[in-house]
Structure 1
Amino acid sequence: MANDLDERTKQYGREIFARLDRQGPVLFTRAWLEDKLMGLGMHDPALKVQLFRFVDTLPYLKQPAEVSRHLREYLNEAKDELPWWVRWGTRLIPNRGVLGQGLAFASQRGAEQMARKFIAGSNVGEAVEAVRTMRDRRLAFTIDLLGEATITEVEADHVQKQYLDLLTGLTREVNTWPEEPTIDRDDRGPIPRVNVSVKLSALFSQFDPIDPEGTSRAVCRRLRPILSLAKQTGAFVNFDMEQHSFKDVTLKIFRDILTEPEFRDWPSVGIAIQAYLKDTEADLHALLDWAKNVRKTPVWIRLVKGAYWDYETVIAAQNHWPVPVFTKKWESDANFEKLTEFLLANVDWLIPAFGSHNIRSISHAMAVAEKLGVPPRRYEFQMLYGMADAIKESIQSLGQRVRIYTPYGQLLPGMAYLVRRLLENSSNDSFLRQGFSEGLSEEVLLTNPAANRRALPAESPNTPTTSMTATHSPAHTVSSAPVPTSAPAAFINEPLTDFSVEANRVAMKAALDQVRSEFGRTYPIVIDNKPLPVTKTLDRENPSRKSELIGKVAMANVEQAKLAVKSCLTAFDTWRDTSVETRAKLLRDVAEQFRKRRFELSAWIVFETGKPWRESDADVAEAIDFCEYYAVEMLKLGATQHRDVPGEDNRYFYEPRGVSVVIAPWNFPLAILAGMATAAIVSGNTVILKPAEQSGIIGAKLMECLQAAGVPPGVANFLPGDGEEIGPTLVQHPDVALIAFTGSLKVALLINEQASKTPGGQNFVKKVIAEMGGKNAVIVDSDADLDEAVKGVVDSAFGFGGQKCSAGSRAIVLDGIYDQFLNRLVEATKSLAVKAADDPGCSLGPVIDAEARDRILKFIEAGKKEAKLAHQTDLGALMEQGHFIPPTIFANVPENAGIAQEEIFGPVLSVIRAKDLDDALRIANGTRYALTGGCYSRSPSHLEKVKRKFRVGNLYINRKCTGALVDRQPFGGFKLSGIGSKAGGPDYLLQFVLPRTITENQMRRGFAPETGTGE
């Protein structure tokens, strides 16, 4: 039976090929020229990538000189890989003058014409005309709305209005036109003529799978009027599918709203499902059960291959998550056929629309439908506007209904869509390229992907393109090359928790409930692995709800501080001489404790410091990374170096400094405390753990994990307390050899000053390692992608309430884009969800305590006298519930204003205008700090200049300036941002050790032991 089906599939395929018009465009016409230019891109990957980058940037370039410069820069960037004629031609690109203006006009005109090949129009009127033309050719349509990424609630409202206007305008026109039975009816009767595709993430600026309930509520609020109007006017609505992380919440919204009484019996609705996802089959089974047994009304399924392959594989690789997509094109093709059979077998409940240009996939659907006796027009085929017209006509001629996925909207926001369509035409795995450019035989193209995959030409991993799905990529990726692989490293970052996975959300909620049940406990000082009697405590309140007492933490006095130093000193000799392997194993065992208690520790961080879910989870993951990374690095560092010569042995090695005091901040309550402590411990030092007063409970949890991992008595002592009371004792104690500190500049400089003194009884100079904060800038160039730049600045400035030394507290924006950027920035900030940190929908939580709140509010009041207050969110009663500060933006900020120079450590952003890039760099470098910085630009020469001249410890290009990962981005700065080397870097442990050399003379009365290389 399988052989019969495969043979029938090939018969249909041969018939489709036989009906194709392969004449191609007329010589020297615009269509002919476009095909030739496309062919050049197909056969030269380097040229393709650079031209597509240029096309993606072109709409943002306002001056002819900018157009010329960008084109030259993009081509020069890959000049060694480009054809000779391109390299030669690059030198002729004019800078200015009439020729420069002509090039700019030609480039913009050419890109616009190319965009119109794939985009039907820029307004409802043009969309109506495009639809009229398609109906004249007996083609059905589905309209997709293009636009910028929705990052503000104003934009979400505008998108809703656009959908409503589109439905009104289309139905008013199209429903009055004469019926075309081939596309307006199926075997059951009339079907909607107007068909609109909706992208759900465009209807809510905070669309996030971490909070499916809140996301569903917000999206449905804007979606209901759209569906109501569609139902009223007889239109059809299809839900588009986007990246994998959005899949489950998209399916949830689909089921939620279509189970509501108003829409429960409405059949004119569907959803896109992607065959390249490994879990799609399970999703279809769940949808079938829901449609049959819950909704009891059928829905349409648009089955596509999927168009986010690059994005999904890159994100999985970056986060060390399982890859959600099939990694071979034949696997996606085979799954498409498998799902095709499932849909056609259940056509009464899941009505299929097959989105593909692949003739094998189309032929297989027709063969299966014939075998199962499915009426010819119970299903349909969908193809992309502007692509594969010959295939569309061939399918039509066989009596099949063909629907065209038709994007419309402004051409500038549509450039991301244009680039994706160009990629699909030129991808190595494109069916269109293989069949019409590469000239592969029909039999090869019609080979069963599951049964004979070796015969397929596209065996290497690549994107299964020329398929249909949503029109926007979540990242502007212009390369369709495979993700590079490398040999496994000794250290791999701990994967962050993927909260789009339901099991992880359930586990986090359970941990929050568990931790709530433990509120009110008292946490003692621990010395020699024994708790000390509690005499004085500090109450720890929940900064999100200041009426909640989380627990009480013992407060050490001076005598207990001295006792902790004595304990460490007693344990030092034994720990120093403990093997490096044993010390490294301890760190790995601590990491295992963190993993076992990951959600619990995250929950404590949420409650004690007000960090949202993802930030808290990342805190624990970073603590794990420090343990694993420093274990690996110490094993390297602990190997003795031999520099022997005949008759003389020379050894170079490291030994620990002694008693170390680790004074940590509250903003990374586990990661920084664990990072500094484990670096000291693994290098053979003994450690006093002094957490910030605001995060003493999390410090106690670290001590619990150390003890559970088997830390020997005295190697780590837990000493919470008031820094002003016990700090001087610890810093000035003659037996303390090293102080590792992260915190304010004022305290760091005081520690450095006190530690520099050598009191009686101290026979060494103390080592101070200090990270002291920053006043970090993000430069926004005039050609920056505003979707990315606005979101990146918002995340950098307001993530965890700006309470990071890496936070981007200054946005330095070039004059040409300043007003546009500021307007979107303000609206994006208004759209943030300010909530209690334990709410999964929280975008921004509280600041740490009342002292921090009052200090930040003073800065804000001073800023009102220095600059223009562009926005301050009204938080209402939330200000009384917890220690909340409204996210605040100042505009037209003088570069020397206090709010532009002082570290505020709160959700306050200064937006500064710069004349040009050189001016922006001067402003960015014009503070006493040099920790992190960022730049959003698409100019290769500007980015090179930024890399050379933006003098900070961690510089981030086209991404937010926070979120450094151990080993991947070792963290730390200079000037008044830091004393010492970068945490999580290859030379960090060197600060905790002292080098020694031992030379031994082996000569004895003229002879020496034989030495050699060994055999």
Structure 2
Amino acid sequence: MLSVCRVNVVVNLQRYATRCLASIVPEVKVDDFDVKNEPVYQYLKGSKERTELEKALKETAGKTEDIPIVIGDKEYKTDDVRYQVMPHNHKQKIAKFYYADAKLVNKAIDVAVETQKKWDRVPIPERLRIWEKAASLMAGQYRQTLNAATMLGQAKTVIQAEIDSAAELIDFFRLNAYFLKEATKYQPISEDPKVTKNTMRYRGIDGFIAAVSPFNFTAIGGNLAYTPALMGNAVLWKPSDTAMLSNWIIFKICREAGVPPGVVNFVPADGPVFGDTITSSKYLAGINFTGSVPTFTRLWTQVGKNINKYINFPRLIGECGGKNYHFVHPSADVETVVNGTIRSAFEFCGQKCSACSRMYVPESLWGKIKKGLLEKRDQLKIGDPTDYKSFTSAVIDDKAWPTRGSRATSSTPRARRIWRLSVGGSAMTVRVTSSNPQSSSLKTRWTRSWWKRYSAPS
């Protein structure tokens, strides 16, 4: 017992001494700068960006990227081999990757914990410089590489890729750097600074942050992993299996920009293995998550059960799916309602947290809106994401089809198959109408909207 107490005292004294030393570090001076939203390219025929994109698409489609587990400055490859295939063409593998087991996840935790102590001492201006370099690389040299990986790996059309893996990702890096710069301007009030001066300094959290990112936005993957890192934390990044290639490219860009080894560790893994391992570590400082409600609930529950073992109270940040709706006023413009609803519900096959999944329409407008929705639906092209005329393409993988298609066909007799993609997917229209907002049909999980188009691998 005495030896345990002695060890705890030593550890706490070491941590206290580190914090005391940090508290007398001179006030941070950060040069002021402004940022603007990244422009969205149009990819018109004959444009420079279109030519560059088509070159990147050809290069990406012509190989299978071998993606290792990266912990610190070392790469690992296990016997648990996985592949990322094109959602719209299952025969085409674009990435080969490897699952980390619990032992490797624990190794990544150890590396992250040690790296964080050094990384947190890197001056904020230096971190801001690295983030700006990464954003510049994303905006220039690697813009179309990111877009090509997102189009082929996640079946996004050119515009959906451009607003995600280019514009939004770049904005995340530049704006988060700007927000950090602005935050450093604040200092507590000092009534008489000659006698007593109050100061505040932002510092990372002891331990590690686990970033668990989704398939549907490349930008979110980069944001979940690298925003905590910007603030002086070390991260274990578990990318989605179905966004592996685009996430890997982000990781490589950031390494090229100057993010040191061990600050962000690239750890593909089985979900439960990763979750069980990180939540059982006493060094868990936080979870940055985007994904399903059941998964986040499981992680939250595990953290609660283990709360007494952590050296910190872990921060849990989660964005999960919702039920976005359109509530149409009798004075609304019908064409605007139709176009807005079609885009919100069906762009990227409705695989967005913000996708419209309910529509409440006044009886006086229903006839016109119904007619407009049907007409617009029949004009939409679903096909290869590299076809500039495609409105949307296949859903992300075969797991997505049973949870949508089978429930729809078993629950609605009106559901019918209307289209089949020869190499990848199928589409389905489902309509559920009710004058009762409490209708069980509207509460069913599979119901995304009264009007929905499905596209999925067959």
1:543 aligned partner, one-letter code: P
Q: Which residue in the other structure is 1:743 paired with?
A: 291
Q: Indicate which of 546, 554, 557 corresponds to 2:101.
A: 557
Aligned-partner Cα distance in 1 for 2:130–2:444? 41
1:740-777 deviation digits (Å, cap 9, x = unpaired): 00001111111112122345642221110000111110
Is 1:891 paired with 2:446?
A: no
Q: Which residue in the other structure is 1:567 paired with?
A: 111
1:703-760 deviation digits (Å, cap 9, x = unpaired): 1111111111210100011112222112332111010000011111111121223456
Q: Indicate which of 437, 450, 453 corresponds to 1:910.
A: 450
Q: Which residue in the other structure is 1:622 paired with?
A: 168
Aligned-partner Cα distance in 1 for 2:279–2:245? 23
Over 3 Å counting, the alpha-carbon distance change for 1:838 and 1:897 in structure 2 is farther
1:538-588 deviation digits (Å, cap 9, x = unpaired): 111111011212221111111111111111101111111111111111211
2:423 aligned partner, one-letter code: Q
1:208-261 deviation digits (Å, cap 9, x = unpaired): xxxxxxxxxxxxxxxxxxxxxxxxxxxxxxxxxxxxxxxxxxxxxxxxxxxxxx
2:216 aligned partner, one-letter code: N
Is 1:833 paired with 2:385?
A: no
Is 1:662 paired with 2:211?
A: yes
Return the offset for 1:888.
3.3
Over 3 Å counting, the alpha-carbon distance change for 1:568 and 1:695 in structure 2 is same
Deviates more, 1:557-566 or 1:583-592: 583-592
Which of the pair has the greater relative contact order for Cα pairs under 8 Å at 6+ separation?
A: 2
Is 1:790 paired with 2:334?
A: no
1:653-676 deviation digits (Å, cap 9, x = unpaired): 3322241110000000x2001112
1:675 match: secondary structure = helix
Q: Which residue in the other structure is 2:181 paired with?
A: 635
2:449 aligned partner, one-letter code: L
Return the offset for 1:898.
5.3
Q: Is the 8 A contact 2:69 2:267 kept in 1?
A: yes
Is 1:822 paired with 2:375?
A: no
Matches within 5 A, 1:220-231: none
Over 3 Å counting, the alpha-carbon distance change for 1:652 and 1:745 in structure 2 is same
1:756 match: secondary structure = helix
Over 3 Å counting, the alpha-carbon distance change for 1:686 and 1:573 in structure 2 is same
Aligned-partner Cα distance in 1 for 2:120–2:184? 12
Q: Which residue in the other structure is 1:581 paired with?
A: 125
Aligned-partner Cα distance in 2 for 1:740–1:568? 15
1:701 match: secondary structure = helix
Name the Cα RMSD after superposition. 2.2
Q: Indicate which of 117, 126, 137 corresponds to 1:593.
A: 137
Aligned-partner Cα distance in 1 for 2:79–2:308? 32
Aligned-partner Cα distance in 1 for 2:222–2:65? 22
2:442 aligned partner, one-letter code: A
Is 1:688 paired with 2:236?
A: yes
Over 3 Å counting, the alpha-carbon distance change for 1:893 and 1:664 in structure 2 is farther
Over 3 Å counting, the alpha-carbon distance change for 1:863 and 1:909 in structure 2 is farther
Q: Is the 8 A contact 1:580 1:638 kept in 2?
A: no
Gaps of 5+ in 2: 1-32, 453-458
Q: Which residue in the other structure is 2:443 paired with?
A: 901
Q: Is the 8 A contact 1:798 1:887 kept in 2?
A: no
Q: Which residue in the other structure is 2:151 paired with?
A: 606
2:374 aligned partner, one-letter code: V
Return the offset for 1:589.
1.5
The number of aligned residues is: 415
Aligned-partner Cα distance in 1 for 2:212–2:53? 29
Q: Is the 8 A contact 1:588 1:628 kept in 2?
A: yes
1:69-109 deviation digits (Å, cap 9, x = unpaired): xxxxxxxxxxxxxxxxxxxxxxxxxxxxxxxxxxxxxxxxx
Q: Is the 8 A contact 1:606 1:612 kept in 2?
A: yes
Return the offset for 1:497.
1.1
1:791 aligned partner, one-letter code: N
Q: Which residue in the other structure is 1:514 paired with?
A: 59
Deviates more, 1:579-588 or 1:711-720: 579-588
User: Taking structure 2 as the reference length, what is the TM-score of the superposition?
Assistant: 0.86
1:510 match: secondary structure = helix
Gaps of 5+ in 1: 1-488, 913-1015
Over 3 Å counting, the alpha-carbon distance change for 1:663 and 1:643 in structure 2 is same
1:819 aligned partner, one-letter code: G
1:460-485 deviation digits (Å, cap 9, x = unpaired): xxxxxxxxxxxxxxxxxxxxxxxxxx
Q: Is the 8 A contact 1:850 1:883 kept in 2?
A: no
Matches within 5 A, 1:289-368: none
1:594-613 deviation digits (Å, cap 9, x = unpaired): 12211111111111111111
Q: Is the 8 A contact 1:813 1:911 kept in 2?
A: no
Aligned-partner Cα distance in 2 for 1:560–1:899? 45
Q: Which residue in the other structure is 2:354 paired with?
A: 806
2:235 match: secondary structure = strand
Over 3 Å counting, the alpha-carbon distance change for 1:568 and 1:886 in structure 2 is same
1:624 aligned partner, one-letter code: I
Return the offset for 1:802.
0.4
Aligned-partner Cα distance in 2 for 1:849–1:619? 19
2:287 match: secondary structure = strand
Aligned-partner Cα distance in 1 for 2:441–2:67? 38
2:412 match: secondary structure = helix
Q: Indicate which of 220, 226, 245 corresponds to 1:678.
A: 226
Aligned-partner Cα distance in 2 for 1:898–1:588? 50
Q: Which residue in the other structure is 1:68 paired with?
A: none
Q: Which residue in the other structure is 2:82 paired with?
A: 538
Q: Which residue in the other structure is 2:24 paired with?
A: none
Aligned-partner Cα distance in 2 for 1:899–1:522? 45
Aligned-partner Cα distance in 2 for 1:818–1:747? 38
1:749 match: secondary structure = helix
Aligned-partner Cα distance in 2 for 1:745–1:900? 19
Please list every run of at least 4 consecutive aligned residues from structure 1 whose deviation after the TM superposition is greater than 6 angstroms.
Answer: none
1:805 match: secondary structure = coil
Aligned-partner Cα distance in 1 for 2:243–2:294? 20
Over 3 Å counting, the alpha-carbon distance change for 1:884 and 1:734 in structure 2 is farther
1:661 match: secondary structure = strand
Q: Which residue in the other structure is 1:526 paired with?
A: 70
Over 3 Å counting, the alpha-carbon distance change for 1:702 and 1:529 in structure 2 is farther
1:498-551 deviation digits (Å, cap 9, x = unpaired): 123622222221211111122x23210011132113432111111101121222
Matches within 5 A, 1:419-498: 490-498=34-42
Aligned-partner Cα distance in 1 for 2:88–2:216? 15
1:956-1001 deviation digits (Å, cap 9, x = unpaired): xxxxxxxxxxxxxxxxxxxxxxxxxxxxxxxxxxxxxxxxxxxxxx
2:404 aligned partner, one-letter code: I
User: Taking structure 1 as the reference length, what is the TM-score of the superposition?
Assistant: 0.40
Aligned-partner Cα distance in 1 for 2:101–2:376? 47
1:638 aligned partner, one-letter code: T
Aligned-partner Cα distance in 2 for 1:593–1:645? 45
Over 3 Å counting, the alpha-carbon distance change for 1:567 and 1:796 in structure 2 is same
Return the offset for 1:783.
2.1
2:290 aligned partner, one-letter code: T
Q: Is the 8 A contact 2:327 2:360 kept in 1?
A: yes
2:432 match: secondary structure = strand
1:831 aligned partner, one-letter code: Q
1:799 aligned partner, one-letter code: E
Q: Is the 8 A contact 2:412 2:430 kept in 1?
A: no
Over 3 Å counting, the alpha-carbon distance change for 1:790 and 1:762 in structure 2 is same
Q: Is the 8 A contact 1:863 1:898 kept in 2?
A: no
Q: Which residue in the other structure is 2:304 paired with?
A: 756
